[in-house]
Structure 1
Amino acid sequence: MSANSNPSLCLKLFTSTFYLSAFTFGGGYVIVPLMRRRFVDDLRWIEEKEMLDLTAIAQSAPGPIAVNAAILLGWRVAGPLGALVAILGTVLPPFLILSVVSLFYAAFRSNPIVAALLKGMQSGVAAVIASVVVDMAGGILAQKRLLPTLIMAGAFLVTLLCDINVVWIILVCAVVGILAAFWRQARDKKEGTV
């Protein structure tokens, strides 16, 4: 779908990402399920599997996951202009909010109501992150494929039990996934020629 031929698409993309970014506390892992609900369930711009793929790419790329996911989603929905619009919609709310907070930082720092509010938000963020993990794990388990399930379980166990930097775990998982894709492609090619 071309963004040039449909300016209302870009406007809807901007307002959706702006709204999600403005009212989401807790970072990328919190905004991802809200993006899924908005763009997969409500607007039906992309499929569930595609959202999982975009999320995986956004996590693997350098930078904030929310911005990376917005770039990929915007590009997928409306091309380069959509990516730009989605970036603006995602980055503007935190920029504006932090600009206001920085002006009143001294008052916010010592305010017990603000401190209690932030503590409460931490609990909510933990619940939303747990929900994301369950949703993403459900998507992987629903595929009924052994390798992705083993990668997911192995990455979880290594993260839980070992003191290994998560970057190394992501790199190992990426290498395993690439090797599996090459192996599957070679197998399919061999079966196709027989």
Structure 2
Amino acid sequence: MIHQVRRCLWLFFIHMFISAFTFGGGYVVIPMIRKYFVERNKLFQEGDLLEMAAIAQSAPGAIAVNLSALTGYRVAGRTGAMVSCVGSVVPPLLILSLVSMGYQAVAGNRILRGILGGMETGVAALIVDLLIDMWRALLREKYLLLPILAVGTFLGSYILHLPVLLLLGLSGFLCAAKARGRRGGEVC
């Protein structure tokens, strides 16, 4: 019981920390979660994290909150999921409350705009790092279909402006067909 309480407190504070110090959206939390959950505490493998990130992205809601729920559930069940979600939404709620109270005072502040511009650069670097790690993981799988799907869906969305739902459905169908063709039922 004490171990579960400690674990839930850790989940709350680590998700609160990650949420407070990551700017730029859901993908930016993935390197932080990797650092604390995979590398330092070895609570699950990097492949598990990538699967959870894919699920968090496809589920409705904010990716960061969805991912915190999934990591919390993996570590401490339903209670861990709830505690992690609360921990991940507390910092943005506090920050937005404070900003909304003093918005007029800071809206034209050049220093604040400069700080936020610097944060954008850091966020871009984190996203590029994440993309490189995801490509490495895809190439390690040794299934040619995965990198082809990644490039194809990007081109279909970015250049051809195809609906994302169509691209997801087509990708899912191709992976299911590939898995059905394998005797062991391996995914894609």
When the two structures are superposed, what TM-score results if normalisation uses the length of structure 2? 0.91
Alpha-carbon distance in structure 2 between the residues aligned to 1:75 and 1:179: 30
Which structure 2 residues correspond to residues 165-184 of structure 1 after superposition, within 5 A? 165-184=163-182
What 5-or-longer segments of structure 2 have no aligned partner? none
Q: Note if contact 1:29-1:65 (Cα within 8 Å) is conserved in structure 2.
A: yes
Aligned-residue offset at 1:152: 1.4
**Superposition pairs of residues 21-100 of structure 1, within 5 angstroms:** 21-100=19-98
Q: 1:5 to 1:12 in 2, by over 3 A?
A: closer
**SS of the residue 2:115 aligns to:** helix
Deviation for aligned residue 1:127: 1.2
The code of the aligned residue for 1:188 comes to: G
| Paired AA for residue 47 in structure 2 | K
Work out the CA distance in 2 between the residues paired with 1:22 and 1:128: 16
Q: Matches of 2:41 and 2:2 in 1, distance apart? A: 19
Which of 125, 145, 148 lines up with 1:147 in the alignment?
Answer: 145
Once the two structures are TM-superposed, the CA of residue 4 in structure 1 deviates from its matched residue by 7.6
Aligned twin of 1:20: 18
Percent of paired sites with the same residue:
41
Aligned residue for 2:156, secondary structure, equals helix
1:192 corresponds to which residue? none
The one of 114, 121, 129 equivalent to 1:131 is: 129
**1:104 maps to which of 102, 105, 110:** 102
- Aligned AA (1:12): W
CA contact (8 A) 1:58 1:68 kept: yes
Q: Which runs of 4+ in 1 moved over 4 A?
A: none
Matched residue type, 1:93: P
Letter in 2 for 1:47: Q
Matched pairs, number? 185
Equivalent of 2:184, from 173, 176, 188?
Answer: 188
> What is the CA-CA distance between 1:88 and the residue it aligns to?
0.7
Query: Scaled by the length of structure 1, what TM-score is found?
Result: 0.88
Match of 1:164 in 2: 162
Describe the shift of the 1:114–1:171 C-alpha distance in structure 2 as closer, same or farther (beyond 3 A): farther
Q: Secondary structure at the match of 2:155?
A: helix
Contact 1:60 1:170 in 2 (8 A): no
Quick one: which of 90, 112, 115 aligns to 1:114? 112
Cα distance in 2, alignment partners of residues 171 and 62 from structure 1: 16
